[in-house]
Every structure is written in structure tokens, then in C-alpha cells.
């Protein structure tokens, strides 16, 4: 994403914005070392994700357990579990057994053509609930590329199943940011719909510090990043200084 005007987007003003509504910073990490680095940089929330395995790739259970033992008492901890279409036979189910992970994410790539995806989601949500965790509904801004349900349908399904969170993300990480697939006004409408459904909202999808001015000024509970705080591509190591820099950019965007 360039630092200039984004086609189809509106740059939002932060005037009169309340300090209490400044989003938290979530950083996705792949291991204990990255988790510690993210915390040193000022992350409010740690998320477990293996970037080599796709948009919502799950880490190995032993890695998740190590991170939970080190982090769970200090900051909220979540984990990606992959895509719903793969869930019935996924090794990521082992992560439901790990104490300290309070929130998990399942994507809906490949589910648009499935007539029973809502039923499969309900079944997964029940398994997650039985593990004393919360399931995040993931709405892909590039839902056409992901062959995923519409964001409105994802929000409705989450609400019907007692969901607490909505993540707006991108599936194809080489095909642009969330703002390349969703205008600022569209994003604001999705956030308002999620809020009306009682969901906490997370916005992700190849966001950079320069992207923040184009996000709606209200309705976002967390901003989630990985690539923007890595030393190169999203598959490389998380950088303490880049986490600090992104947090500073958020403060500038919402507080100044």
C-alpha cells in the first residue's frame, strides 16, 4: 500500500475521538521468542499464527503450549486454527486442549458454495465453547478470492451462535491490503453491523502504519498486524522496533 490516497477510501478525521476508544494492538507471532519481542515492543494482545501455513495457519501444539506458559498470565492470548473446511481432520484441534489460550480463530475460505457451512460453524463453535474458549468469526474482505461467505453472512452466523468477536482480514496476502478490497465506508458499515450484533471487532489484513488514516475512527476494538512488524516479509522475524513504531503510529492516528 502506498502512503498516498487509496482508491475508493475516505481519510477519516480523529477530531473529538475519545481516548477510551483507542484500539488495542494485537501482534501475531509464531513462537515464544517473537511473543516476548512483541510484548517488549508494546503489544496489548498476543496471537499465535504460523505464516507459512496461510492466512490463519496454526502453530504446532508444543509451540502454543510454550507460549501459553510464558504469556497467558500477562496478556490476552489467541490462536489461529486454520480454515473451517479443514477443521474436521485438523491437527489444530489439539490447541483447544491448551490452557491459557482464551480465543481461537477459524476462517471460512472455500465455504461460500457449501450449503451447510453454518451448521459446520455451529459444530465448531460448540467444540470451542466446551474447551472454555471463544471462537472468532473471520470475515474476509477479499471474500471472492477466498470463496468465502459475505461479511454480512459471517456476522449473522456469529451472532446466532453466541459469538463475541469479528475479525475482518484478508485471505490472499499477496493481493493487497484489507483497504484494497473494502472501501473505508464499506469497512465502517461492516463494523457498525458487527457492533449492533454485540461483537468486539478486530481489523487486520496487511495493514501498514500509513494505512491507519484510512481506517474508520470508531468501531475498532483491536488492530492486528504481523507483516508490518516483521523484518521483511510476513514470514520473517518480528521486530521490537517495528512493533514500537506501529504502536506510535496508532497513538498518532487516534490521539493527536
Torsion, CA 143, CA 113, CA 134, CA 227, rounded to 10? -30
pLDDT of residue 54: 92
Which residues form the domain of 107?
A: 19-255
What's the rounded Cα separation, in Å, for the pair 177 and 240? 23
pLDDT of residue 174: 84
Please state whether the predicted TM-score (pTM) of the whole model is above 0.85. yes
With 0-12 CB in 10 A as exposed, 13-18 as middle and 19+ as buried, what is 256? exposed
Task: Determine, yes or no, domain membership for 5.
Answer: no
pLDDT of residue 17: 46
Q: Which residues contact 69 (CB under 8 A, 6 or more apart)?
A: 100
Contact (CB, 8 A) for 1 and 173 = no
User: What is the three-class DSSP state of 88?
Assistant: helix
What's the rounded Cα separation, in Å, for the pair 159 and 11? 30
Task: Determine, yes or no, domain membership for 72.
Answer: yes
pLDDT of residue 12: 55
CATH of the domain at 110: 3.20.20.70
Number of structural domains the chain divides into: 1
Task: Determine, yes or no, domain membership for 55.
Answer: yes
pLDDT of residue 184: 87
pLDDT of residue 13: 52
**Helix axes 32-41 and 240-255, enclosed angle (nearest 10):** 40
Task: Determine, yes or no, domain membership for 164.
Answer: yes
pLDDT of residue 7: 44
pLDDT of residue 144: 94
Contact (CB, 8 A) for 88 and 118 = no
Task: Determine, yes or no, domain membership for 225.
Answer: yes
Mean pLDDT by 10 residues, the chain (256 residues): 42 48 94 98 98 96 98 97 97 98 98 96 97 97 96 97 96 91 93 97 97 94 98 94 98 90
Give the H/E segment covering residue 41. helix 32-41
pLDDT of residue 2: 35
Amino acid at each position: 500500500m502506498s502512503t498516498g490516497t487509496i482508491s475508493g477510501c475516505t481519510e477519516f478525521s480523529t477530531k473529538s475521538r475519545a481516548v477510551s476508544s483507542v484500539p488495542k494492538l494485537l501482534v501475531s507471532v509464531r513462537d515464544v521468542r517473537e511473543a516476548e519481542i512483541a510484548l517488549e515492543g508494546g503489544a496489548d494482545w498476543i496471537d499465535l499464527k504460523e505464516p507459512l501455513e496461510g492466512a490463519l495457519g496454526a502453530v504446532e501444539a508444543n509451540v502454543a503450549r510454550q507460549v501459553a506458559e510464558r504469556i497467558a498470565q500477562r496478556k490476552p492470548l489467541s490462536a489461529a486454527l486454520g480454515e473451517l473446511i479443514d477443521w474436521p481432520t485438523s491437527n489444530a484441534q489439539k490447541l483447544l486442549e491448551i490452557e491459557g489460550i482464551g480465543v481461537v480463530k477459524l476462517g471460512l475460505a472455500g465455504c461460500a458454495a457449501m450449503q451447510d457451512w453454518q451448521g459446520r460453524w455451529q459444530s465448531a463453535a460448540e467444540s470451542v465453547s466446551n474447551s472454555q474458549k471463544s471462537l472468532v468469526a473471520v470475515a474476509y474482505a477479499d471474500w471472492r478470492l477466498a470463496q468465502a461467505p459475505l461479511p454480512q453472512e459471517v456476522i449473522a452466523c456469529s451472532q446466532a451462535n453466541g459469538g463475541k468477536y469479528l475479525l475482518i482480514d484478508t485471505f490472499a496476502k499477496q493481493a493487497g491490503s484489507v483497504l484494497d478490497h473494502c472501501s473505508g465506508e464499506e469497512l465502517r458499515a461492516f463494523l457498525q453491523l458487527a457492533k449492533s450484533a454485540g461483537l468486539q471487532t478486530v481489523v487486520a489484513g496487511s495493514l501498514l502504519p500509513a494505512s491507519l488514516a484510512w481506517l474508520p475512527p470508531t468501531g475498532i476494538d483491536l488492530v492486528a498486524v504481523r507483516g508490518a512488524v516483521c523484518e521483511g516479509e510476513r514470514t520473517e522475524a518480528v521486530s521490537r522496533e517495528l512493533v514500537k513504531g506501529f504502536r506510535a503510529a496508532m497513538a498518532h492516528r487516534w490521539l493527536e
